[in-house]
């Protein structure tokens, strides 16, 4: 009854107004792993960082959150970094210094759910191993995926798009931002892209649209939820908080694991709305705080209850 998250961990060097304002532990898959752990889920995390000062900071951070780092995750030559430049609205643009490699099968028990995405899905050579692990775990686990595109790292856009398409075919739940979709398929609206993705095999496709809310598609139809109104500090980690909240909500509904794949494929619109509303609250609480500070279960559930009663 554990999640396995596979993907990059790094140090975000945050710059705003021409000056460095801080260094924070980051990486989309890392944030999802930490978000799930803060929601009380058991999580194993496979990554590729160095045994250096920044790497040890990452190790301490995930352990403090309750995440178990998988053996072999600290053999990189250096710990990756990302320069995150914030604009006046708090939105981030990234420049990366990263290598991504994986070897073998993780020394972790069979997961209930496996999540991956972002750099891990497209950056060679590790993306090839990531795709192989999706195939390895698909027979026994729900597979979730967030492309969370980083165009600055992509040298061959067509190859990256092809890799994303192949992963979508093998996943059960896909979450993407409308910005991701515009990069992946600039000629079509997100609603149409989501319909195409759903036809490729996933049971659920979710699209986030920042302050405009989010929508989700399943075999039973379309559901939409508005974004919760909060004072935005910055958007760092918002999509990752949404992803961890979505996985957690499906976990609570008893829809994770390969044995539940048929039930997941038959999810009703009421349950799907509940799931993406919970995910949206996780994202809202995150953007209301500086950095990728994802909520714990108590604060997330209290905020949801307050919103319902309000």
Compute the distance between CA of residue 145 and CA of residue 205 in angstroms, rounded to an integer. Answer: 10
pLDDT recorded at residue 310: 54
pLDDT recorded at residue 309: 60
Which helix (H) or strand (E) segment holds residue 248: the answer is helix 238-252
Compute the distance between CA of residue 107 and CA of residue 133 in angstroms, rounded to an integer. Answer: 12
Check: CB of residue 177 under 8 Å from CB of residue 208.
Answer: yes
pLDDT recorded at residue 90: 67
Check: CB of residue 97 under 8 Å from CB of residue 119.
Answer: no
Residue 251 has φ and ψ, to the nearest 5°, of: -60, -50
Check: CB of residue 241 under 8 Å from CB of residue 286.
Answer: yes
**Does residue 208 have a cis peptide bond before it, meaning omega lies within 30 degrees of 0?**
no
Compute the distance between CA of residue 68 and CA of residue 279 in angstroms, rounded to an integer. Answer: 23
Please name the residue that has the structure tokens 């160095």. Answer: 50
Residue 125 in tokens = 């050579």
The pTM for the full model equals 0.94
Predicted confidence pLDDT, tens digits, the chain (310 residues): 899 999 999 998 888 888 888 888 999 999 999 999 999 999 999 999 999 999 999 999 999 999 999 999 999 999 999 887 877 776 777 788 999 999 777 877 889 999 999 999 999 999 999 999 999 999 999 999 999 998 888 989 999 999 999 999 999 999 999 999 999 999 999 999 999 999 999 999 999 999 999 999 999 999 999 999 999 988 889 999 999 999 999 999 999 999 999 999 999 999 999 999 999 999 999 999 987 899 999 999 999 998 866 5
Compute the distance between CA of residue 198 and CA of residue 25 in angstroms, rounded to an integer. Answer: 33
């Amino acid at each position: 009854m554990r999640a396995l998250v596979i993907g990059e961990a790094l140090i975000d060097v945050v710059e705003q107004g021409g000056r460095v304002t801080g260094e924070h532990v980051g990486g989309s898959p890392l944030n999802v792993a930490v978000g799930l752990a803060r929601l009380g889920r058991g999580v194993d995390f496979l990554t590729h960082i160095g045994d250096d000062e920044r790497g040890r900071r990452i190790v301490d951070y995930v352990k403090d959150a309750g995440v178990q780092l998988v053996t072999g995750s600290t053999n990189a030559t250096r710990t990756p970094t990302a320069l995150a430049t914030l604009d006046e609205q708090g939105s981030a643009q990234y420049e990366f210094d990263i290598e991504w490699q994986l070897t073998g099968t993780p020394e972790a028990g069979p997961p209930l759910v496996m999540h991956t995405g972002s750099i891990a899905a497209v950056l060679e050579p590790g993306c090839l191993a990531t795709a192989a692990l999706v195939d390895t775990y698909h027979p026994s686990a729900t597979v979730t995926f967030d492309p969370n595109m980083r165009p600055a790292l992509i040298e061959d856009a067509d190859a990256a798009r092809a890799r994303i398409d192949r992963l979508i075919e093998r996943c059960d739940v896909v979450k993407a931002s409308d910005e991701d979709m515009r990069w992946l398929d600039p000629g079509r609206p997100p609603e149409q892209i989501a319909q195409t993705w759903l036809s490729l095999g996933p049971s659920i496709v979710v699209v986030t649209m920042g302050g405009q809310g989010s929508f989700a598609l399943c075999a039973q139809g379309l559901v939409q939820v508005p974004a919760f109104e909060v004072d935005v500090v910055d958007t760092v980690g918002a999509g990752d908080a949404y992803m961890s909240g979505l996985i957690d909500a499906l976990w609570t509904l008893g829809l994770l694991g390969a044995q539940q794949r048929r039930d997941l494929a038959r999810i009703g619109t009421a349950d799907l709305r509940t799931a993406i509303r919970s995910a949206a609250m996780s994202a809202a609480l995150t953007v209301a705080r500086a950095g990728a500070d994802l909520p714990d279960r108590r604060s997330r559930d209290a905020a949801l209850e307050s919103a319902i009663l309000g």
